[in-house]
Amino acid sequence: MTHEEARGLFPVLERYAYLNAGTLGPLARPTLDAMDERARYDQEQGRGGRAWFESMLELRTRVRQKVASLISAAPESLALTSSTTDGCNIVVAGLGLRPGDEVVTTNSEHPGLLLPLAVSGATVRVADVANRPVAEAGERIMSLVGPKTKLLALSHVLWTTGQVMPVQQLKRETRLPVLVDGAQSVGAMPVDVGEADYYTVSGQKWLCGPEPLGALYMRDPESLRVAFPSYWAQAGIEPDGTFVPRDNAERFDTGWIATPMLAGWEAALDVRPDWSFERAAEITEHCRRTLAGSFEVAGEPGQGTLVSFVPRGDPAETAAELYASGVVVRDLPGTGWVRASCGWWTNEDDIERLVVGIRA
Ligand SMILES: Cc1ncc(COP(=O)(O)O)c(C=O)c1O
Protein backbone atom coordinates (compact mmCIF):
# COMPACT_ATOMS: atom_id res chain seq x y z
CA MET A 1 0.00 0.00 0.00
CA THR A 2 1.47 3.36 -1.00
CA HIS A 3 1.10 6.42 1.19
CA GLU A 4 -1.39 7.93 -1.27
CA GLU A 5 -3.46 4.73 -1.18
CA ALA A 6 -3.30 4.73 2.62
CA ARG A 7 -4.62 8.29 2.76
CA GLY A 8 -7.44 7.30 0.41
CA LEU A 9 -8.71 4.92 3.10
CA PHE A 10 -9.72 7.78 5.41
CA PRO A 11 -12.81 9.78 4.37
CA VAL A 12 -12.00 12.56 6.86
CA LEU A 13 -8.80 13.42 4.97
CA GLU A 14 -10.87 14.49 1.96
CA ARG A 15 -12.01 17.51 3.98
CA TYR A 16 -9.66 18.08 6.88
CA ALA A 17 -5.99 18.15 7.68
CA TYR A 18 -6.74 15.73 10.51
CA LEU A 19 -4.08 16.15 13.21
CA ASN A 20 -5.77 14.92 16.37
CA ALA A 21 -5.22 11.17 16.66
CA GLY A 22 -3.91 11.85 20.16
CA THR A 23 -7.57 12.37 21.04
CA LEU A 24 -9.35 10.18 18.48
CA GLY A 25 -7.79 8.61 15.40
CA PRO A 26 -9.34 8.86 11.94
CA LEU A 27 -11.64 5.99 10.94
CA ALA A 28 -10.76 4.11 7.74
CA ARG A 29 -13.34 2.90 5.22
CA PRO A 30 -12.62 -0.81 5.94
CA THR A 31 -13.22 -0.05 9.64
CA LEU A 32 -16.52 1.67 8.91
CA ASP A 33 -17.53 -1.15 6.54
CA ALA A 34 -16.70 -3.83 9.12
CA MET A 35 -18.82 -2.02 11.72
CA ASP A 36 -21.78 -1.79 9.32
CA GLU A 37 -21.42 -5.39 8.25
CA ARG A 38 -21.31 -6.66 11.81
CA ALA A 39 -24.30 -4.54 12.83
CA ARG A 40 -26.24 -5.99 9.88
CA TYR A 41 -25.19 -9.54 10.82
CA ASP A 42 -26.36 -8.96 14.39
CA GLN A 43 -29.73 -7.70 13.20
CA GLU A 44 -30.24 -10.46 10.65
CA GLN A 45 -28.95 -13.41 12.73
CA GLY A 46 -30.37 -12.22 16.03
CA ARG A 47 -28.06 -11.55 18.93
CA GLY A 48 -27.98 -14.41 21.39
CA GLY A 49 -28.29 -17.34 18.99
CA ARG A 50 -25.61 -20.01 19.06
CA ALA A 51 -23.87 -18.84 15.87
CA TRP A 52 -23.88 -15.28 17.15
CA PHE A 53 -22.30 -16.33 20.46
CA GLU A 54 -19.61 -18.35 18.77
CA SER A 55 -18.76 -15.57 16.35
CA MET A 56 -18.69 -13.01 19.18
CA LEU A 57 -16.27 -15.18 21.19
CA GLU A 58 -14.09 -15.71 18.11
CA LEU A 59 -14.05 -11.97 17.48
CA ARG A 60 -12.91 -11.28 21.05
CA THR A 61 -10.19 -13.90 20.66
CA ARG A 62 -8.92 -12.46 17.36
CA VAL A 63 -8.87 -8.87 18.63
CA ARG A 64 -7.05 -9.97 21.78
CA GLN A 65 -4.45 -11.79 19.67
CA LYS A 66 -3.94 -8.89 17.28
CA VAL A 67 -3.55 -6.26 19.99
CA ALA A 68 -1.25 -8.54 22.01
CA SER A 69 1.02 -9.21 19.04
CA LEU A 70 1.33 -5.47 18.39
CA ILE A 71 2.87 -4.95 21.84
CA SER A 72 4.89 -8.20 21.90
CA ALA A 73 2.66 -9.73 24.58
CA ALA A 74 0.95 -13.12 24.89
CA PRO A 75 -2.84 -12.98 24.29
CA GLU A 76 -3.43 -14.62 27.69
CA SER A 77 -1.87 -11.58 29.33
CA LEU A 78 -4.32 -9.13 27.79
CA ALA A 79 -7.70 -8.01 29.16
CA LEU A 80 -10.17 -6.31 26.81
CA THR A 81 -11.37 -3.02 28.26
CA SER A 82 -13.12 0.08 27.01
CA SER A 83 -10.21 2.51 27.55
CA THR A 84 -6.86 3.28 29.10
CA THR A 85 -8.75 4.79 32.03
CA ASP A 86 -10.40 1.40 32.63
CA GLY A 87 -6.98 -0.22 32.60
CA CYS A 88 -5.61 2.22 35.15
CA ASN A 89 -8.63 1.72 37.40
CA ILE A 90 -8.30 -2.07 37.21
CA VAL A 91 -4.65 -1.96 38.22
CA VAL A 92 -4.83 0.72 40.90
CA ALA A 93 -7.92 -0.77 42.57
CA GLY A 94 -6.62 -4.31 42.08
CA LEU A 95 -3.38 -3.56 43.92
CA GLY A 96 -5.40 -2.54 46.98
CA LEU A 97 -3.32 0.55 47.77
CA ARG A 98 -3.89 2.01 51.21
CA PRO A 99 -3.24 5.25 53.09
CA GLY A 100 0.46 5.25 53.93
CA ASP A 101 1.41 3.70 50.57
CA GLU A 102 3.06 5.90 47.98
CA VAL A 103 2.76 6.04 44.22
CA VAL A 104 5.26 7.91 42.08
CA THR A 105 4.05 9.59 38.90
CA THR A 106 4.93 12.66 36.80
CA ASN A 107 3.47 16.14 36.46
CA SER A 108 2.42 15.44 32.84
CA GLU A 109 -0.17 12.73 33.30
CA HIS A 110 -3.69 12.56 31.93
CA PRO A 111 -6.77 12.40 34.21
CA GLY A 112 -7.24 8.83 32.93
CA LEU A 113 -4.33 7.84 35.16
CA LEU A 114 -4.45 10.60 37.76
CA LEU A 115 -8.06 10.05 38.82
CA PRO A 116 -7.59 6.36 39.66
CA LEU A 117 -4.47 7.34 41.63
CA ALA A 118 -6.32 10.13 43.43
CA VAL A 119 -9.05 7.83 44.74
CA SER A 120 -6.65 5.02 45.66
CA GLY A 121 -5.97 6.37 49.16
CA ALA A 122 -2.22 6.31 48.53
CA THR A 123 -0.02 9.41 48.65
CA VAL A 124 0.82 10.49 45.12
CA ARG A 125 4.34 11.86 44.64
CA VAL A 126 4.75 13.88 41.47
CA ALA A 127 8.05 14.14 39.59
CA ASP A 128 8.66 17.31 37.61
CA VAL A 129 9.39 16.19 34.04
CA ALA A 130 7.22 18.68 32.14
CA ASN A 131 9.25 20.37 29.44
CA ARG A 132 12.51 19.22 31.06
CA PRO A 133 15.21 17.33 29.12
CA VAL A 134 14.10 13.75 28.53
CA ALA A 135 17.51 12.53 29.69
CA GLU A 136 16.74 13.85 33.20
CA ALA A 137 13.34 12.18 33.54
CA GLY A 138 14.55 8.85 34.95
CA GLU A 139 16.56 10.51 37.70
CA ARG A 140 13.77 12.95 38.58
CA ILE A 141 11.31 10.09 38.95
CA MET A 142 13.76 7.83 40.82
CA SER A 143 14.48 10.59 43.32
CA LEU A 144 10.92 10.26 44.66
CA VAL A 145 11.05 6.49 45.13
CA GLY A 146 11.30 5.43 48.76
CA PRO A 147 10.52 2.55 51.11
CA LYS A 148 6.78 3.27 50.99
CA THR A 149 6.57 3.31 47.18
CA LYS A 150 4.19 0.58 46.02
CA LEU A 151 3.79 1.59 42.38
CA LEU A 152 5.32 3.68 39.63
CA ALA A 153 2.53 4.91 37.37
CA LEU A 154 3.31 7.03 34.32
CA SER A 155 2.83 7.44 30.61
CA HIS A 156 5.16 5.93 28.06
CA VAL A 157 4.60 9.03 25.90
CA LEU A 158 3.47 12.25 27.60
CA TRP A 159 0.19 13.50 26.15
CA THR A 160 1.34 17.11 26.47
CA THR A 161 4.62 17.14 24.56
CA GLY A 162 5.19 13.62 23.23
CA GLN A 163 8.29 13.11 25.41
CA VAL A 164 9.12 9.40 25.87
CA MET A 165 9.59 8.28 29.47
CA PRO A 166 12.19 5.61 30.36
CA VAL A 167 9.65 3.09 31.62
CA GLN A 168 11.79 -0.03 31.12
CA GLN A 169 14.78 1.58 32.81
CA LEU A 170 12.58 2.53 35.79
CA LYS A 171 11.46 -1.07 36.13
CA ARG A 172 15.00 -2.41 35.92
CA GLU A 173 16.31 0.05 38.47
CA THR A 174 13.50 -0.17 41.04
CA ARG A 175 12.01 -3.67 40.54
CA LEU A 176 8.78 -2.05 41.78
CA PRO A 177 5.44 -2.66 40.04
CA VAL A 178 5.21 -0.33 37.02
CA LEU A 179 1.92 0.73 35.43
CA VAL A 180 2.47 2.25 32.00
CA ASP A 181 -0.19 4.44 30.40
CA GLY A 182 0.17 3.51 26.73
CA ALA A 183 -2.56 5.80 25.36
CA GLN A 184 -0.09 7.87 23.31
CA SER A 185 2.32 5.09 22.36
CA VAL A 186 0.49 2.00 21.11
CA GLY A 187 -0.18 2.40 17.40
CA ALA A 188 1.99 5.52 17.20
CA MET A 189 5.39 3.85 17.61
CA PRO A 190 6.82 0.36 18.12
CA VAL A 191 5.93 -0.91 21.61
CA ASP A 192 7.25 -3.92 23.46
CA VAL A 193 5.79 -4.33 26.95
CA GLY A 194 9.17 -5.72 28.00
CA GLU A 195 9.43 -5.88 31.77
CA ALA A 196 6.49 -3.57 32.52
CA ASP A 197 3.99 -5.10 34.91
CA TYR A 198 0.92 -3.38 33.48
CA TYR A 199 0.55 -1.57 30.16
CA THR A 200 -2.64 0.07 28.91
CA VAL A 201 -3.88 0.42 25.34
CA SER A 202 -6.43 2.89 23.93
CA GLY A 203 -8.20 1.57 20.84
CA GLN A 204 -9.68 4.81 19.60
CA LYS A 205 -6.53 6.89 19.26
CA TRP A 206 -3.48 5.76 17.25
CA LEU A 207 -4.98 2.35 16.50
CA CYS A 208 -7.81 4.11 14.66
CA GLY A 209 -10.53 1.93 16.18
CA PRO A 210 -14.00 3.12 17.15
CA GLU A 211 -14.65 4.08 20.75
CA PRO A 212 -14.91 2.93 23.50
CA LEU A 213 -12.20 0.28 23.22
CA GLY A 214 -8.97 -0.56 24.98
CA ALA A 215 -6.85 -3.29 26.47
CA LEU A 216 -4.70 -3.92 29.52
CA TYR A 217 -1.55 -6.02 29.51
CA MET A 218 -0.51 -7.62 32.79
CA ARG A 219 2.58 -9.72 33.35
CA ASP A 220 0.95 -11.66 36.19
CA PRO A 221 -2.85 -11.63 36.60
CA GLU A 222 -2.43 -13.09 40.08
CA SER A 223 -0.78 -9.84 41.17
CA LEU A 224 -4.16 -8.07 41.09
CA ARG A 225 -7.42 -8.53 42.96
CA VAL A 226 -10.51 -8.51 40.71
CA ALA A 227 -11.95 -5.24 42.03
CA PHE A 228 -14.60 -4.58 39.34
CA PRO A 229 -15.78 -8.00 38.21
CA SER A 230 -17.73 -8.31 34.96
CA TYR A 231 -19.36 -11.51 33.71
CA TRP A 232 -15.96 -12.48 32.27
CA ALA A 233 -14.35 -12.60 35.72
CA GLN A 234 -15.69 -16.03 36.62
CA ALA A 235 -15.20 -19.55 35.40
CA GLY A 236 -17.72 -20.80 37.99
CA ILE A 237 -19.93 -19.11 40.58
CA GLU A 238 -21.73 -20.09 43.79
CA PRO A 239 -25.18 -18.86 44.90
CA ASP A 240 -23.51 -16.41 47.29
CA GLY A 241 -21.37 -14.94 44.49
CA THR A 242 -18.16 -16.70 45.46
CA PHE A 243 -16.42 -17.32 42.18
CA VAL A 244 -13.57 -19.18 40.58
CA PRO A 245 -11.73 -16.61 38.46
CA ARG A 246 -11.09 -17.33 34.82
CA ASP A 247 -7.56 -18.23 33.90
CA ASN A 248 -5.31 -15.45 32.77
CA ALA A 249 -5.99 -11.77 32.18
CA GLU A 250 -9.44 -12.41 30.67
CA ARG A 251 -10.81 -12.29 34.23
CA PHE A 252 -10.31 -8.50 34.03
CA ASP A 253 -12.27 -8.02 30.77
CA THR A 254 -14.57 -5.12 31.51
CA GLY A 255 -17.77 -6.29 29.90
CA TRP A 256 -19.78 -7.08 26.81
CA ILE A 257 -18.09 -4.96 24.21
CA ALA A 258 -20.48 -4.27 21.33
CA THR A 259 -19.63 -6.57 18.43
CA PRO A 260 -19.72 -3.84 15.72
CA MET A 261 -17.09 -1.94 17.70
CA LEU A 262 -14.89 -5.02 18.03
CA ALA A 263 -15.29 -5.80 14.33
CA GLY A 264 -14.31 -2.21 13.52
CA TRP A 265 -11.27 -2.46 15.75
CA GLU A 266 -10.18 -5.70 14.11
CA ALA A 267 -10.43 -4.10 10.68
CA ALA A 268 -8.50 -1.05 11.88
CA LEU A 269 -5.73 -3.29 13.25
CA ASP A 270 -5.54 -5.06 9.87
CA VAL A 271 -5.38 -1.81 7.92
CA ARG A 272 -2.20 -0.44 9.52
CA PRO A 273 0.67 -0.78 7.00
CA ASP A 274 4.11 -2.20 7.88
CA TRP A 275 5.70 1.18 7.30
CA SER A 276 3.37 3.02 9.70
CA PHE A 277 5.85 3.72 12.51
CA GLU A 278 8.67 4.94 10.25
CA ARG A 279 6.32 7.21 8.36
CA ALA A 280 4.78 8.61 11.56
CA ALA A 281 8.25 9.37 12.97
CA GLU A 282 9.35 11.08 9.73
CA ILE A 283 6.28 13.27 9.37
CA THR A 284 6.43 14.18 13.07
CA GLU A 285 9.97 15.49 12.61
CA HIS A 286 8.87 17.35 9.49
CA CYS A 287 6.01 18.91 11.47
CA ARG A 288 8.35 19.86 14.32
CA ARG A 289 10.92 21.45 11.99
CA THR A 290 8.28 23.32 10.02
CA LEU A 291 6.55 24.72 13.11
CA ALA A 292 9.88 25.60 14.73
CA GLY A 293 10.48 27.98 11.83
CA SER A 294 7.77 30.29 13.17
CA PHE A 295 6.82 29.15 16.69
CA GLU A 296 8.22 27.98 19.98
CA VAL A 297 7.90 24.19 19.95
CA ALA A 298 7.77 22.21 23.21
CA GLY A 299 9.92 19.20 24.00
CA GLU A 300 12.68 17.75 21.87
CA PRO A 301 12.95 15.84 18.59
CA GLY A 302 13.02 12.06 18.21
CA GLN A 303 10.25 11.39 20.72
CA GLY A 304 6.57 10.44 20.23
CA THR A 305 4.25 11.60 17.45
CA LEU A 306 2.82 14.69 19.21
CA VAL A 307 4.08 18.21 18.53
CA SER A 308 3.00 21.02 20.86
CA PHE A 309 3.72 24.66 20.15
CA VAL A 310 2.94 28.15 21.43
CA PRO A 311 0.54 29.91 19.06
CA ARG A 312 0.54 33.70 18.76
CA GLY A 313 -3.03 33.99 20.02
CA ASP A 314 -5.09 32.20 22.63
CA PRO A 315 -4.63 28.40 22.18
CA ALA A 316 -8.35 27.52 22.41
CA GLU A 317 -9.27 30.24 19.93
CA THR A 318 -6.44 29.19 17.64
CA ALA A 319 -7.69 25.59 17.64
CA ALA A 320 -11.25 26.78 16.93
CA GLU A 321 -10.08 29.00 14.07
CA LEU A 322 -7.96 26.21 12.63
CA TYR A 323 -10.97 23.91 12.73
CA ALA A 324 -13.00 26.46 10.82
CA SER A 325 -10.24 26.52 8.20
CA GLY A 326 -10.22 22.71 7.90
CA VAL A 327 -7.40 21.77 10.29
CA VAL A 328 -8.15 19.58 13.32
CA VAL A 329 -5.79 20.04 16.27
CA ARG A 330 -6.45 20.63 19.97
CA ASP A 331 -5.36 23.08 22.60
CA LEU A 332 -4.03 21.80 25.92
CA PRO A 333 -5.77 23.77 28.68
CA GLY A 334 -3.45 25.30 31.24
CA THR A 335 -0.29 24.96 29.13
CA GLY A 336 -0.52 27.70 26.50
CA TRP A 337 0.04 25.04 23.82
CA VAL A 338 -1.73 23.75 20.76
CA ARG A 339 -1.00 20.10 19.98
CA ALA A 340 -0.70 18.49 16.55
CA SER A 341 -0.80 14.68 16.25
CA CYS A 342 1.08 13.18 13.30
CA GLY A 343 0.09 9.70 12.12
CA TRP A 344 1.14 7.39 9.28
CA TRP A 345 -1.66 8.91 7.19
CA THR A 346 -0.40 12.50 7.66
CA ASN A 347 1.32 14.22 4.72
CA GLU A 348 3.33 17.40 4.15
CA ASP A 349 0.26 19.13 2.78
CA ASP A 350 -1.55 18.65 6.12
CA ILE A 351 1.36 20.34 7.88
CA GLU A 352 1.38 23.14 5.34
CA ARG A 353 -2.35 23.70 5.93
CA LEU A 354 -1.66 23.87 9.67
CA VAL A 355 1.06 26.47 9.30
CA VAL A 356 -0.86 28.55 6.76
CA GLY A 357 -3.99 28.28 8.96
CA ILE A 358 -2.20 29.63 12.03
CA ARG A 359 -0.57 32.47 10.14
CA ALA A 360 -3.97 33.46 8.74
C1 LIG B 1 -1.79 9.81 28.21
C2 LIG B 1 -3.28 9.55 28.21
N3 LIG B 1 -3.78 8.70 29.11
C4 LIG B 1 -5.08 8.40 29.14
C5 LIG B 1 -5.96 8.95 28.25
C6 LIG B 1 -7.39 8.56 28.32
O7 LIG B 1 -7.59 7.54 27.38
P8 LIG B 1 -8.93 6.71 27.36
O9 LIG B 1 -9.97 7.59 26.80
O10 LIG B 1 -8.61 5.52 26.48
O11 LIG B 1 -9.21 6.32 28.76
C12 LIG B 1 -5.50 9.85 27.29
C13 LIG B 1 -6.43 10.49 26.35
O14 LIG B 1 -6.17 11.51 25.77
C15 LIG B 1 -4.12 10.15 27.26
O16 LIG B 1 -3.60 11.01 26.38
What number is the average pLDDT over the span 279-284?
98
Q: Is the pLDDT of residue 359 over 90?
A: no
Query: Residue 150 in 3-state DSSP?
Result: strand
Cα of 41 vs centre of ligand 1, distance in Å, is 31
165 and 288 share a domain? no
- Ligand 1, atom 9, lies closest to the CA of 83
Q: Are residues 257 and 294 in the same domain?
A: no
Mutate to test the pocket of ligand 1, among 117, 159, 200, 208 (most ligand atoms within 8 A of CB): 159
In this prediction, what percent of the chain has a pLDDT beyond 70? 100
- 53 CA → ligand 1 middle, Å: 31
Residues with CB under 6 A from ligand 1: 23, 83-85, 110, 112-113, 155, 159, 181, 183-184, 202, 214
Q: Ligand 1 center to residue 80 CA distance, Å?
A: 16
- Measured from the Cα of 87, ligand 1's closest atom is 11
Is the domain of 328 the same as that of 208? no
Domain match, 74 and 208 both: yes
* Per-residue pLDDT reduced to its tens digit, 240-257: 999 999 999 999 999 999
**Domain span including residue 337:** 3-27+274-359
Residues 288, 167 within the same domain = no
> What is the arithmetic mean of pLDDT over 325-343?
97
Residues 115-128 pLDDT 10s: 999 999 999 999 99
Based on the fold, state whether residues 225 and 314 are members of the same structural domain.
Answer: no
Q: Which atom of ligand 1 is nearest to the CA of 109?
A: 1
pLDDT tens digits along 154-196: 999 999 999 999 999 999 999 999 999 999 999 999 999 999 9
Q: What is the mean pLDDT of the chain?
A: 97
Q: What per-residue confidence (pLDDT) applies to 131?
A: 87
Please give the average per-residue pLDDT across 82-96, as a whole number.
Answer: 98
d(CA 103, CA 124): 5
The pLDDT of residue 348 is above 90: yes
- Number of structural domains found in the chain: 2
Residue 173 inside a domain? The answer is yes
Q: Give 25's pLDDT tier (boundaries 50, 70, 90).
A: very high
Q: What is the pLDDT of residues 31-59, one digit of tens each?
A: 999 999 999 999 999 999 999 999 999 99
Q: Are residues 156 and 167 in the same domain?
A: yes
Whichever domain contains 20, its CATH number is: 3.90.1150.10
**186 and 133 part of one domain:** yes
From 184, 254, 303, 330, mutation site for ligand 1 pocket: most ligand atoms within 8 A of C-beta: 184
Which of these three, 245, 271, 297, is where a domain ends? 271
Among 250, 271, 292, which residue terminates a domain? Answer: 271
Question: Which of 275, 238, 233 has the alpha carbon at shortest distance from 250?
Answer: 233
Q: 231 and 83 in one domain?
A: yes
- Provide the H-helix boundaries in the chain: 3-8, 29-45, 50-70, 84-94, 111-118, 134-142, 167-174, 259-271, 276-292, 315-324, 348-359
CATH of the domain at 110: 3.40.640.10
Q: What is the pLDDT of residue 153?
A: 99
33 part of a folded domain: no
For residue 360, pLDDT over 90 is answered with no
Residue type, 149: T
Domain co-membership, 211 together with 158: yes
Q: What is the mean pLDDT of residues 74-101?
A: 97
